[in-house]
Structure 1
Amino acid sequence: MAKIKQNSPVLFFYNNSKKWLTKISKKESFHTHIGVIKHSDAIGKEYGSRLITNKDKYVYLLEPTMYDYVMKIQHGTQIVYPKDLGYIVARAGIGSGQKILEIGTGSGSLTSFVANIVKPRGHVYTFDVDENFMKIAEKNIKKAGVSKYVTQQNLDLKTAKTLPLEDMDVALIDLGDPWIVIPKVRQMLKGSGSIFAICPTMNQLEKLTMALVENEFTDIESTEHILRTIEAREGKTRHSFQGIGHTTYLCFARKAFFGRESRKFLEKSTTEKIKPKTTKKPVKKPTKKSSKKSS
């Protein structure tokens, strides 16, 4: 059974609203409103055990999941929440061994979540233009333990003259104007490869959808996901007054081939075949009539 030791990640869990994610260090103590939690008291215990604080309150020692890392991530930008992350992974069919393109790293929540799924054979290639956000994302990705499966690059793909990747399985876009990069994303995706774009407003969805159709994407779907929790208690179960409402809109699509180029070629060829040829008839020169002289 897994035992907690020095540098082990632990989620100190008191209740759904009071929980702390940390790394165990023998000399450290955690001061909270429910009392002092000594890290040294956790060493040697099995995950799932509980500690009693000096105020006679207890906390459970839980092994952190990727959900915990995402929810406790350091925010530099708005993060993508688990209720949306799960749908992205399921709808796009993201799995181990895939190559993922991400444009707009942000705080690294989506990056970390996806990297944890595609490992150990897959990889996430993520691009951003803000160095400060990239540093925050790097710390979050490292804390989640997936740095080995992520490559970060400071590059603006909107203006890039050469494309850094090819044959990607999935592209994840988190930009204010995602429609601008769609032509380049198409070139980097494999056939039938998926796109997921995160859009805060419906106006963005409209422009994005037009760009997807123009660039030959199909299976286009826009969704919004609302999460409402239930407080299940004996004799008084009800909906929770708290929940996660609107966070973002999601737009999904797949790369296809509409046959536009071949159709244009066919139309051109057909036009050339049926185009009437105008041939000029040779103009006959007038002939001079010979006149006979009378003798």
Structure 2
Amino acid sequence: MDKIKQNSPVLFYFNHSKKWLVKISKKESLHTHIGVIKHSDAIGKEYGSRLVTNKDKYVYLLKPTMYDYVMKIQHGTQIVYPKDIGYIIARAGIESGQKILEIGTGSGSLTSCVASIVKPRGHVYTFDVDENFMKIAEKNIKKAGVSKYVTQHNLDLKTVKKMPLADMDVALIDLGDPWIVIPQVRKMLKGSGSIFAICPTMNQLEKLTMALVENEFTDIESTEHVLRTIEAREGKTRHSFQGIGHTTYLCYARKAFFGRESKEPTKTKTTTKPAKKTAKKTRKKSS
């Protein structure tokens, strides 16, 4: 039986739109429109139990999932939503033990979810240039309990001359101009390694696709994912008036070898020059 104790994470759940994610502290209370919820009343109870507030309202004590953490994180930037994250994980085949490159940490929603999948043997290496956003992401990643499996770097990969990583299984890009880093990403990916880019506009998709072809990627696919919830109630089931519609476009591709003559496919504008690739004790040839 999984019981709640001091410092346990708990989702106080009243309904779909009224829920609070907290870390239990016996001296604290949560004041809400449905009454006061004392943390101490939750200690010793099993997850799934319920409490009664001073206004006679029931609150269920649920164990938070990664979805709950993502939906409750502090937003420094626009987050990647679970409806998109789920497809990214499935399409790219992200699994335990993999090494993941992420360019554009943002608020850390995608970072946290992917880290929860690749742990305990895998790792996420995430890069960003905004220190303020990085601090917010660090807090969110820590709150999700996956800090051990994430390494944050304050580095602009658009301008590096030496690639900091090699033999990555998957690359995730969340930048306004993702096509700029495609040559660098190629150097850091394994053969047949997957790439996913988050693109808010179709113009970005066009430029990105051109860069992917030029840099010898195949299985290129662009998609949009819209989630519509259903209000299922006896005798009056209908589509919900609320929901998450368009959030972003996703572009997927895999690193391949087109058999071109010996020239580095780098027509995409970038300041990066070809360099030897090393990562710890592993060395691989650029292709």
Tell me what 1:128 maps to: 128
Superposed, 1:174-193 pairs within 5 Å as 174-193=174-193
Superposed, 1:112-191 pairs within 5 Å as 112-191=112-191
Tell me what 1:229 maps to: 229
Superposed, 1:209-228 pairs within 5 Å as 209-228=209-228
- What whole-Å deviation, never above 9, does each CA across 1:37-64 have from its counterpart, x for those lacking one? 0000000000000000000001000000
Distance of 1:21 and 1:159 partners within structure 2: 40
Q: Work out whether 1:103 is the aligned partner of 2:103.
A: yes
User: Partner of 1:138: helix, strand, or coil?
Assistant: helix
Distance of 1:73 and 1:260 partners within structure 2: 46
- What whole-Å deviation, never above 9, does each CA across 1:223-242 have from its counterpart, x for those lacking one? 00000000000111110011
Distance of 1:171 and 1:213 partners within structure 2: 16
User: Partner of 1:179: helix, strand, or coil?
Assistant: helix
Distance of 2:107 and 2:229 partners within structure 1: 26
Amino acid at match of 2:16: N
Q: Work out whether 1:36 is the aligned partner of 2:45.
A: no
Amino acid at match of 2:129: V
Tell me what 2:64 maps to: 64
Distance of 1:204 and 1:251 partners within structure 2: 10
Distance of 1:117 and 1:262 partners within structure 2: 38
Tell me what 2:12 maps to: 12
Q: CA deviation at 1:85?
A: 0.3
User: Partner of 1:244: helix, strand, or coil?
Assistant: coil
Q: CA deviation at 1:71?
A: 0.3
- The alignment-based identity, stated in percent, is 91
Q: CA deviation at 1:261?
A: 1.8
Tell me what 2:194 maps to: 194
Distance of 1:243 and 1:142 partners within structure 2: 28
Distance of 1:262 and 1:196 partners within structure 2: 26
Q: CA deviation at 1:140?
A: 0.3
Q: CA deviation at 1:262?
A: 6.2
Tell me what 2:88 maps to: 88
Q: CA deviation at 1:169?
A: 0.2
Distance of 1:45 and 1:112 partners within structure 2: 28
Q: CA deviation at 1:209?
A: 0.1
User: Partner of 1:162: helix, strand, or coil?
Assistant: coil
* Count of residues in Structure 1 that have an aligned counterpart in Structure 2: 264
In structure 1, runs of 5+ residues without a counterpart are: 264-295
Q: CA deviation at 1:111?
A: 0.2
Tell me what 1:249 maps to: 249
Decide which structure has the larger Cα Rg and report it: 1
User: Partner of 1:133: helix, strand, or coil?
Assistant: helix
User: Partner of 1:210: helix, strand, or coil?
Assistant: helix
Tell me what 1:206 maps to: 206
Where relative contact order (Cα < 8 A, 6+ residues apart) is larger, the structure is 2
- What whole-Å deviation, never above 9, does each CA across 1:83-109 have from its counterpart, x for those lacking one? 000000000000000000000000000
User: Partner of 2:84: helix, strand, or coil?
Assistant: helix
- What whole-Å deviation, never above 9, does each CA across 1:3-58 have from its counterpart, x for those lacking one? 00000000000000000000000000000000000000000000000000000001
Tell me what 1:21 maps to: 21
Amino acid at match of 1:55: K
Provide TM-score, normalisation by structure 2.
0.91
Tell me what 1:277 maps to: none
Amino acid at match of 1:61: L
Amino acid at match of 2:50: R
Tell me what 2:270 maps to: none
Distance of 1:193 and 1:186 partners within structure 2: 9
Provide TM-score, normalisation by structure 1.
0.89
User: Partner of 2:5: helix, strand, or coil?
Assistant: coil
